[in-house]
Amino acid sequence: MHTVSGGEVAGILVAVFWAILVSFLAVALARLAQTLRTTTKLVADVTDQAVPLLADASAAVRSAQTQIDRVDAIASDVQEVTSNASALSTTVASTFGGPLVKVAAFGYGVRRALGGRKEDMSAPADRARRTVIVGRTLPAARRTKRKKG
């Protein structure tokens, strides 16, 4: 029978330790490889889904830009119409405003003159003239309605 020396026992222990260490490293590397494969698949799936989403987002941005351009064109047209309407109202006011005021004043004067003559003939000459004073109230006796004679 062969006796085992201390160096041989130490060598066997070191060999077993290295075998266990290599086994643990192999398991860790296998799990790392599996994690890398899963991560690669996840990145590929995200890329496959992100590319159409980015295309849709790009189309939406282009559509929004088109709509903004349309709204800008409408706003500039509205501004032009507003300025044209302002110019037209200024022209109409300056062209017809003065003469219409004069015609209205003349008509009022003619009515007043004709109405005043009829009143002078039908009403007595001592009729009191009413005046309005802003901010003053009349006494109660003067607030009542006057009876026509």
Q: What is the mean pLDDT of residues 83-92?
A: 88
pLDDT at residue 64, as a whole number? 95
DSSP string, 25-89: HHHHHHHHHHHHHHHHHHHHHHHHHHHHHHHHHHHHHHHHHHHHHHHHHHHHHHHHHHHHHHHHH
Whether the CB-CB separation of 124 and 149 falls below 8 Å is answered with yes
**What confidence score (pLDDT) does residue 149 get?**
47
pLDDT digits (tens, 9 = 90+) for 89-140: 888 887 877 777 888 888 888 888 888 665 555 555 445 555 656 666 655 5
